[in-house]
């Protein structure tokens, strides 16, 4: 099997030929949240399907494009949509874009997602600053041989969600009179939504929100030495807390709060 560093060389050479230069921040835009990439200035957009060694995104609300350019004065490489483990991709494939962002020079990523609210104080439409996560997917993208030039064998996850970035985001939300919840994101594999019993367990375990992405991306970001800001859009109450769950509601809620979400990310990015 080809080494990760060799695959990355092919991908970054392709992207540089397309005009992609230095990157400061990688952005991963979750279900229904991809519109932020439409605000990138001097944009170069490339469908995932054209990028060597990228998977293809199959989920409604995920446009499946890489967008490079300037946002809030920073050079960004945004993923309009992401890959999920439940689509049948390996964790390594799901997180490959984070490796690419790092290889292009990104020192930080901003990850966003749609998530179900477990915390009883949350309501659909809330934005939640992710302060920590629980990897409940049953897998880990770092399983396998460690390429030491990519990062350490045993990465420290004590401060995976960069505390200074959390502070800046809270200050920005406050200055804009925007309500911002905070809490722990618990990542399941999906694609089933959780059962009510799993949600009761998640609450006891310390989760404030549940979702089907993000944890593997953040593990690879930590492995690569990147700083991380994570924001969830609470699109629904978790299983057992409302009558039923569906993806149409998830996308509808992101539609309703996208203006506020975009404002928070742009204003925070300007301060990072
Ligand atoms: O990509 P994210 O985590 O934003 O999307 C969530 C998880 C599933 O893909 C989908 C379920 O409705 O939304």
Annotated catalytic residue, options 35, 86, 157, 252: 86
Annotated catalytic residue, options 89, 247, 252, 255: 247
Q: Please state, in angstroms and rounded to a whole number, the distance separating the CA atoms of residues 229 and 242.
A: 29
Q: Please state, in angstroms and rounded to a whole number, the distance separating the CA atoms of residues 182 and 170.
A: 9
- Closest to 20 measured CA to CA, from 70, 69, 53, 88: 69
Token pair for 21: 């230069």
Cβ < 6 Å from ligand 1: which residues? Answer: 30-31, 59, 82, 84, 113-114, 190, 211-213, 247, 250
pLDDT of residue 2: 81
- 143 strand-pairing partners: none
Do the beta carbons of residue 8 and residue 100 sit within 8 Å? Answer: yes
Is 90 annotated in some ligand binding site? no
pLDDT of residue 57: 72
- Strand 108-117 with 127-135, pairing: unpaired
Would you say how long the chain is, in residues? Answer: 272
For 233, phi then psi, to 5°, come to: -100, 115
- Distance in Å, CA 100 to ligand 1 centroid: 22
> What is the value of ipTM here, to two decimals?
0.98
pLDDT of residue 56: 78
Which residues make Cβ contacts (< 8 Å) with residue 230, sequence separation at least 6?
A: 110, 111, 112, 113, 129, 130, 133, 161, 185, 214, 218
Domains and CATH numbers, the chain: 4-271 (3.40.50.1580)
Q: Please state, in angstroms and rounded to a whole number, the distance separating the CA atoms of residues 123 and 111.
A: 21
Cα diameter, the chain? 51
Would you list the DSSP string of 112-166? EEEEEE-STT--TT-EEEEEEEEE-SS--TT-S---TTT--SS---TT-S-HHHH
Local mean pLDDT, 10-residue blocks, the chain (272 residues) = 90 97 95 88 95 84 88 97 94 97 98 97 98 98 95 97 98 96 98 98 98 98 98 97 94 94 96 96
Is-catalytic flag, 226? no
pLDDT of residue 121: 98
Is-catalytic flag, 252? no
Is-catalytic flag, 213? yes
pLDDT of residue 63: 73
């Amino acid at each position: 099997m080809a080494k990760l560093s060799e695959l990355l060389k092919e991908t970054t050479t392709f992207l540089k030929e397309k005009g992609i230069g230095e990157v400061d921040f990688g952005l991963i835009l979750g279900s229904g949240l991809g519109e932020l990439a439409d605000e990138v200035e001097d944009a170069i957009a490339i469908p995932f399907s054209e990028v060597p060694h990228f998977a293809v995104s199959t989920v409604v609300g995920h446009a499946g494009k890489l967008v490079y350019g300037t946002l809030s004065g920073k050079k960004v490489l945004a993923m309009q949509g992401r890959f999920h483990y439940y689509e049948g991709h390996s964790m390594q494939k799901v997180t490959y874009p984070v490796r690419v962002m790092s290889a292009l020079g990104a020192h930080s990523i901003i990850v966003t997602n749609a998530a179900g609210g477990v915390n009883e104080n949350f309501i659909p439409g809330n934005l939640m600053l992710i302060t920590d996560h629980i990897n409940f997917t049953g897998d880990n993208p770092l399983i396998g041989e460690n390429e030491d030039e990519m990062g350490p064998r045993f990465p420290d996850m004590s401060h995976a969600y960069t505390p200074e970035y959390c502070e800046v985001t809270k200050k920005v939300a406050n200055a804009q009179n925007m309500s911002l919840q905070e809490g722990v994101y618990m990542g399941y594999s999906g694609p089933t939504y959780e059962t009510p019993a799993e949600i009761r367990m998640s609450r006891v375990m310390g989760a404030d929100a549940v979702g089907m992405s993000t944890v593997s991306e953040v593990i690879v970001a930590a492995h690569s030495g990147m700083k991380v800001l994570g924001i969830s859009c609470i699109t629904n109450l978790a299983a057992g807390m409302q009558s039923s769950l569906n993806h149409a509601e998830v996308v509808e809620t992101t539609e309703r709060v996208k203006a506020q979400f975009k404002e928070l990310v742009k204003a925070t990015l300007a301060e990072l």
